Amino acid sequence: MTTDQRNIQVEERHIEKRSDSSRVTATFIKYAAYLIIFFGIMYFLVKYILPKF
């Protein structure tokens, strides 16, 4: 019996998950500011605009 020898090259990839804490913090502050502005506008509408109708 003959044995087939195959030369297989396996490519290995090592993926490092990098997290820049300053970018994460900046994104959190940005979305927190969006939420504060949104709820501020909603409070203004409910408190001052809607009672006039």
Predicted structure pTM score: 0.58
Provide the pLDDT for residue 37. 98
Given the structure tokens 């109708």, which residue do they identify?
Answer: 53
Compute the distance between CA of residue 5 and CA of residue 20 in angstroms, rounded to an integer.
46
Annotate 1-53 with DSSP letters as a single string: --------PPPP--------HHHHHHHHHHHHHHHHHHHHHHHHIIIIIGGG-
- Residues 7-52 have pLDDT tens digits of 778 888 888 777 788 999 999 999 999 999 999 999 999 999 989 8
Provide the pLDDT for residue 38. 98
- Band (pLDDT 50/70/90 cuts) for residue 3 is low
